[in-house]
Structure 1
Amino acid sequence: MSNIRNFCIIAHIDHGKSTLADRLLEYTGTISRREMKDQILDDMELERERGITIKAKVVRMDYTDKNGVKYILNLIDTPGHVDFTYEVSRSLAACEGAILVIDATQGVEAQTLANTMLARNAKLKIIPVINKIDLPTADANSAYEQMKEGLEVDADPILASAKEGLGIREIVDSVIANVPPAKVVKEDPLSALVFDSFYDSYRGVIVIIRVFAGKIRKGMKVKFMVSDAEYEVLEVGYIKMKMIESDELSSGEVGYVVARIKDIHNIKIGDTITESENPTRHPHKGYKEINPFVFAGLYPNMTSEYDGLKTALGKLKLSDSSLVYFPETSVALGFGFRCGFLGSLHLEIVKERLEREFGLNILVTAPNVIYKAKSKDKFVKIDNPAKFLNSSDIEEIWEPYVEATIVCPVDYLGSILDLCRKRRGKQMLMKYMNTKIVILKYHIPLAEIIIGFYDALKSASKGYASFDYVHINPQLGDLVKLEIMINAEVVDAFTVITHKDKAQSIAHYLTEKLRDIIPRHMFEVPIQAKVNNKIIARETISVVRKDVLAKCYGGDITRKRKLLEKQKEGKRKMRRFGKVDIPPEAFIAVLKIDG
């Protein structure tokens, strides 16, 4: 048991984390060259396409060193994106060490910084690796300098190229030499950390655990301490690209448990498993409920597809326990669902999976965050802009904030500072890593970064800036509800909550955009934006006129006047009773509001 090493790989997106995992699997003989394919641990099509890890993976590698000593190396491949930070923190809690990968061509970026902090908080031994040294634009010295200054990691890095297989032996030797062996506490009651789970249609929920004390075996009655649910263990084992059953999992080992669990929501990431009859007194620290931070409406393009969307969301929720949804009705869009997501990337992934895996054609309303309002001495949570209270009823309102970390070249500093100012950011730190790279920390409202911020940041820095954020305490805000009326009717799907100072510019943007997108009708269509029942912007879609005088070939002017008056009266009636046809592109306009 002293020869077990539990470690993970942490890096910024596209720094070569998955490629390095591929080479480690090859080097240790866990997978043959014939079976090998790129990004083998990223088995979801979407992960391979985007080059990101969405779901954590575990793989056990058996390795014998040159002296004939046998080791068990448990690699825990963690998601890299900020939306899944909590899952990353639980995966790190299951390890003793971390391989920190830095791209020699890009240097230290925002997520490198964020993930290093997580690893340091989890008290992991960090092994720095400078990757992609084979590329002509590689600058290992600059990457090392940034690592020392920005990350405060003093250890000498291993120079490697995961693509070419350079430095892989040195990385494995360093893991064995530097990562502390897993502590073995066999005599204590069972204590195992749940850091991942997935749904199998035949065996129910399969739970991925790290055993810290005691042992877990088939037939044992176990209890999940947070959910207080009890189950009998049907099977335990470890994962070596596929699940391999074993007699038991002992202290220090990483593996899976099957216990006829039907509902994935009974399994909480970060929960502690213990024996029912002899429970541990020390549940694992750091558990917290995962709550959605971003909400959006999902509606089928055709009403007949509503049942299909409902079924698809139910199936998707089995494999993604962080997805939250409940039915809602919109005047403009009909029946749909309000869904809660961990962030804007999570929203994109769910939308894409619904369209690919279930063949649906869906419409997504503008994402919004949860606001907390105080009204008549009671607190109200607002997750839908249409439910926002009138200003006269609100005493105070809090909006969620994040601490954003931006790493960028000094050349683009001015445009990035301007962008953050426009997004109501408050600068907390500016630190130079060297003469070329600067780190910025800002406190920014979450609502300002979920729509278009990342794209605007990439434009402002010509693609060189990187960005990461963590949630902090909500702050008081001066917010208003901006409603759009089309033909004197409020269209709830266009309602947005915005800061008082930005309401006017957003109102003009939306009314002008809708005027261009909505087709002309046989009657005049006014588009108005209102705040607190006061109209602050208006555009008009002009009428389509039929030439009623075409059939008049002469005659008295009174006849022509009579026809024109009749047409005018008809238009007035139509204006009163006519229904405006709003195309799907109009709803996308709200997603592109530039703050």
Structure 2
Amino acid sequence: MKHIRNFCIIAHIDHGKSTLADRLLDATQTVTAREQQAQLLDNMDLERERGITIKSHAIQMDYIHNGEQYTLNLIDTPGHVDFSYEVSRSIAACEGALLIVDAAQSIQAQTISNLYLALENDLEIIPVLNKIDLPSANPEEVSDDIVDLLGCEYEDIIPASGKTGLGVDKILEAIINRIPPPKGVEDEPLQALIFDSVYNPFRGIEVIFRVTNGTIKKGQKIKFMATGKEYFADEIGTLKLNQVPKQEIKTGDVGYLISGIKEAREVKVGDTITDAKEPTKNMIGGFENVKPMVFAGIYPVDTEDYEELRNSMEKLQLNDASLVFLPESSAALGFGFRCGFLGMLHMEIIQERLEREFDMTVITTVPNVSYFAYSKKEPEVPIVVNNPSDLPEPSRMDHVEEPYIKATIITKSDFVGQVMSLCIEKRGLITNQTYLTPERVELTFDMPLAEIVFDFYDRLKTVSKGYASFDYSPIGMRTSNLVKVDILLNGQIVDALSALIHVDNAHNIGKKMCEKLKELIPRQQFDIPIQAAIGVKVISRETIKALRKDVTAKCYGGDISRKRKLLEKQKKGKKRMRQVGNVEIPQEAFMAVLKLND
């Protein structure tokens, strides 16, 4: 056990985690020259296209140091704030972490939040200064920032370059010398933590675990403690680039388990695996339940695909434990699911993965957050409102509370004015402003979560020319003056387009929604009124004009009353058509509501 090291790589998005992981794999000769490719651990097409890490990836490396062979279990983690749950799970399976900081960009918001996650779990932190070969790198200044943040010595920081491979041997040496070996007792009953799982269509569910105490052997009868189900360990092994089957996996090591589990519900990430005959008394304290930040409805385009969508979502949930969903129905869209996501990027990725991996074409409704409504009858008991249609009637309602977040923004001092005006426009209150260096400022705001759901991240990048970094944490609920804005098409409420909006913004947003829908909904044979309403009061209206046949074309001259008679006849027909007509809403219309400021 003293020759095992479990560590993860944490950093802000785009600071070179995956590239540095490639160099570590090269240095330990885990991959052959034939298998080498950039961002080797990012094996999903989406990750390669966007250049981001979405999933944590575990891989085992063997390294000889001072004549002794060491086993290094590396977990490469995502850097975007929307995938922080992946990071928290990886940290639970490690004793140490490489904290990577880009020498050109310095410390960003997500660097700090990932660092705090690691420190809460008592991990040994090894600071690495990456990309020092860039012409724009500023190693002295960034080293000062790291020393201020960590309270370490300058000698502890390892200068490196993921591109050229500089400093990789020093990193491997630091992992062996500084990160403690796993603690655990081999003679105790088996106790292993599930920190990830993958669905394989041919072999069932592959569970990825880390053994805390005891040993797991091939063919052993095991038990999952949260569900109480028992299985046989048909195949166990370690994760190199491909799976390597083994006869047993000992304390402190990381491995995979295949036992022919077909039902997605039977595996819970964070569960404990133990021996069926001699079970352990204690479950491992896993990680806290995920708290979704953004809610949206996902519906199949064809209602007959509902069951297929449920199966796809369950399989996807195995691979991404931060996805939460419940069944719901909508008058406009039929049966579907109310899903909880950690942010807008997370929602976008889930939608793309459903389409690519499971061939499911889905409609996504306007995202919103979870509110608490209090009725006059029972003012102490909150009604949880995940969907605007759940909001009680205004006459029966006492007040509504919305979730607030503490937003931390780190930006260059040149852009403080623009960032502040954006946050104030989004109903933010500034609580702190700290100059980290003369060039870089940390701003702290209390903001409603609903305001950052739509386009806040994109606009922040625009006003700061890409320099601002953003991180947030929930700080509880606060009373707010919110109203429900309904969209009516041809007099019918479209529940999928309803939204809860602050009173001050309601007229403005209602008007923009109507204008946007007018552009996107195709013209029909009859006039379509589009209205935005609060309760029964209409606050904005646009009309999509009907397609008309020129009925007066056959009249050559003659009395005007002949033309008028034909036009009146046409008008009556259009009116009757409007009463029975049905308006189809294209998918772009649901998504366009998110981009009202474009």
TM-score (norm: length of structure 1): 0.92
Q: 1:298 touches 1:337 (CA, 8 Å); kept in 2?
A: yes
Paired residue secondary structure (2:476): strand
Q: Greater CA deviation, 77-86 or 12-21?
A: 77-86
Partner of 2:6: 6
Q: Name the count of aligned residue pairs.
A: 594
Once the two structures are superposed, the pairs formed by residues 513-532 of structure 1 within 5 Å of their partners are 513-532=516-535
- CA offsets per residue over residues 71-104 of structure 1, 9 Å max, x none? 1111122232323323322211221111111111
1:120 is displaced (CA, Å) by 1.2
Whole-Å Cα distance in 2 between the matches of residues 199 and 524 of structure 1?
49
Deviation at 1:244, TM superposition (A): 1.9
- Residues 292-303 of structure 1: pairs in structure 2 closer than 5 A: 292-301=292-301
Partner residue of 1:94? 93
Question: Compared with structure 1, are the counterparts of its residues 441 and 271 closer, same or farther at alpha carbon in structure 2 (3 Å cutoff)?
Answer: farther
Contact 1:98/1:126, CA 8 A, preserved across alignment: yes
The CA distance in 1 between the partners of 2:337 and 2:121, in whole Å, is 38
| Secondary structure, counterpart of 1:101 in structure 2 | strand
Deviates more, 1:225-234 or 1:365-374: 225-234
1:234-289 deviations in Å (ceiling 9; x for gaps): 33322122222223222222222333333333322222223344443443225333
Q: CA deviation at 1:454?
A: 0.9
Taking every aligned residue pair, what percent have the same amino acid on both sides? Answer: 52
Q: Deviation of residue 361 (structure 1)?
A: 4.0
**Mean CA deviation greater in 188-197 or 548-557:** 548-557
Determine the structure 2 residue equivalent to 1:367: 367
Structure 1 unaligned spans of 5+: none
The residue correspondences of 1:253-332 to structure 2 (distance < 5 A) are 253-301=253-301, 309=309, 312-313=312-313, 315-325=315-325, 328-332=328-332
Aligned partners of 1:236 and 1:470: how far apart in 2? 38
Q: CA 1:549/1:218 → structure 2, altered by over 3 Å: closer, same or farther?
A: closer
1:526-554 Cα offsets, whole Å, 9 max, x none, are 22111122112222334555444333323
1:446 to 436, 446, 449: 449
1:538 counterpart = 2:541: yes
Q: Which amino acid aligns with 2:555?
A: C
Change (3 A) 1:56 1:557: closer
Structure 1 residue aligned with 2:593, among 553, 572, 590?
A: 590
Mean alpha-carbon deviation: is it higher for 93-102 or for 533-542? Answer: 533-542
Is 1:393–2:396 an aligned residue pair?
yes
Partner of 1:198: 198
Alignment correspondent of 1:121: 120
Asked if the contact 1:149–1:433 (Cα under 8 Å) also holds between the matched residues in 2, the reply is no
**Structure 2: 5+ residue runs without aligned partners?**
none
How far has the Cα of 1:335 moved from its partner? 5.0
Displacement of 1:48: 1.7
Deviations 1:290-312 (A, max 9, x none): 35433223345566766765664
Q: Aligned with 1:206: secondary structure?
A: strand
- 1:279–1:401 CA distance, 2 compared to 1 (3 A): farther
Counterpart Cα distance in 1 of 2:149 and 2:393: 46
| Counterparts of residues 377-526 of structure 1 (less than 5 Å) | 377=378, 378-526=381-529
* TM-score, normalised relative to structure 2: 0.92
Q: Distance in 2 between matches of 1:328 and 1:295?
A: 12
Q: Is the alpha carbon distance of 1:559 and 1:137 closer, same or farther for their aligned partners in structure 2, counting shifts above 3 Å?
A: same
Q: How does 1:21-170 map to 2 (within 5 A)?
A: 21-65=21-65, 67-150=66-149, 152-155=151-154, 156-170=156-170
Correspondence list, 1:174-189, <5 A: 174-189=174-189
What do residues 551-575 of structure 1 show as CA deviations (whole Å, max 9, x unaligned)? 3323334333433433443344344
1:504–1:150 Cα change, 3 Å: farther
| Residues 1:340 and 2:343 are matched in the alignment | no
CA–CA separation in structure 2 for the residues paired with 1:361 and 1:234? 36
Q: Choose 472-481 or 493-502, whichever is displaced more.
A: 472-481
- Hey, what's the Cα distance between the residues in 2 that align with 1:525 and 1:121? 57
Q: Is the 8 A contact 1:87 1:195 kept in 2?
A: no
From the superposition, tell whether residues 243 and 359 of structure 1 become closer, same or farther in structure 2 (CA, over 3 Å). Answer: closer
Partner of 1:349: 349
Structure 2: which amino acid aligns with 1:112? T
SS at match of 2:552: coil
Q: CA deviation at 1:324?
A: 4.1
Deviations 1:445-500 (A, max 9, x none): 22222211111111110111111223343333322210011221112222111122
Report if the CA contact (8 A) 1:290-1:322 is conserved.
yes
Answer with 299-308 or 486-495: which moved more: 299-308
SS at match of 1:459: helix
Shift of 1:415: 1.0
- Taking structure 1 as reference, are residues 553 and 202 closer, same or farther at Cα in structure 2, changes over 3 Å only? closer
Q: CA deviation at 1:11?
A: 0.9
Tell me if 1:226 matches 2:229: no
Secondary structure (helix, strand or coil) at the match of 1:368 reads coil
Separation in 2, partners of 1:540, 1:147: 58
**Residue identity in the other structure for 2:488:** M
Q: Which residue does 1:15 correspond to in 2?
A: 15
Matched letter for residue 513 of structure 2: L
Stretch deviating more after TM superposition (570-579 or 157-166): 570-579
Q: Distance in 2 between matches of 1:218 and 1:291?
A: 36
- Counterpart of 2:561 in structure 1 is 558
Amino acid at match of 1:244: V
- The offset of 1:153, in angstroms, is 4.7
CA distance in 2, matches of 1:14, 1:29: 25
In structure 2, give the amino acid aligned to 1:357. E
Cα 1:331/1:280, change in 2 over 3 Å: closer
- The 8 Å contact of residues 217 and 249 in structure 1, kept in 2 or not, is answered as yes
Shift of 1:111: 1.1
> Retained in 1: the 8 A contact 2:14–2:79?
no
547-556 vs 85-94, which moves further: 547-556
Cα distance in 2, alignment partners of residues 586 and 179 from structure 1: 52
Residues 517/173 of structure 1: CA separation in 2 closer, same or farther (3 Å cut): same
Deviates more, 1:443-452 or 1:220-229: 220-229
